[in-house]
Every structure is written in structure tokens, then in C-alpha cells.
Amino acid sequence: MPHEAPPPPYSQAVPGYYQPPPQNVHVQGAPAVASGPTVIIHTTAPTFNLISNEPATITCPSCHAVVRTTVIYQPSLSTHLWALILCLFICWPCVCVPYCMNSCQNANHYCPNCNAFIGSYRN
């Protein structure tokens, strides 16, 4: 059986990965240095500017794949208001027109890979 080398100790850095410097290390003969204030960096999920009601090419924040979004149109408050206005002005045969036009509805964008909700374009 060939002799295998032991694995590196856990304290040894793995190439390609960042290892933070050790904390509270005091070298004999060196003056003690007080550590400064702790800095907390808060990151948020990326926001997407889906500029239209058409599918957009983005990187999905859920599965991290570059995809072209799937758009599902949904009636909004303005869609219902336009239908009401058409009804009030005796254009009742045209009441269904705002529900048939994608430009009068909200466009909800979804990832086709993992079906995660990406964002919404509101009219």
C-alpha cells in the first residue's frame, strides 16, 4: 500500500480561498495594539430594473443562471379602472379590451429555470 501524505492542518490556507488574518495575536516585545471599531457591511439582494413588460435577460438571484424571464400578465387596479370607465361611458362591448391588452396589465417576471419570482413591471 503506498504511503499517503497527511492532509494539511485546518489552520493552513487553501489556495484560492481568502483566510482572514488572525485576531488578537501579540508578538513578544511588540507593543499591544488596540483593535479599532468593528465594521459591519450589510448587503441586500440585487434589484433589477425590468424596464418593460417584455421578457428580459438577467441572472436569476435564486439559481444564479443567466435566463430570459418568463412573463405572466396579471390585471391590475388600472386595468379594472379602465374597464369601469369604458362601462360608464356606454362602451360596454369594449369592457374586455383592457383585459386582452398586455400593456394594460402588470407583467410579473419569473425564472424559467427554478420558477422564482424575479420582479414586476407595473403599468
pTM of the model: 0.56
In a domain, 100, yes or no: yes
In a domain, 107, yes or no: yes
In a domain, 63, yes or no: yes
Domain total for the chain?
1
In a domain, 109, yes or no: yes
- The predicted-structure confidence for 32-49, as pLDDT tens digits, reads as follows 555 567 666 655 555 555
95 pLDDT above the threshold of 80: yes
DSSP assignment of 49-63? ---SSS--EEE-TTT
pLDDT band at 5 (very low <50, low <70, confident <90, very high): confident
Per the CB < 8 A criterion, the answer to whether 66 and 58 are in contact is yes
Which domain range does residue 70 map to?
Answer: 57-121
In a domain, 13, yes or no: no
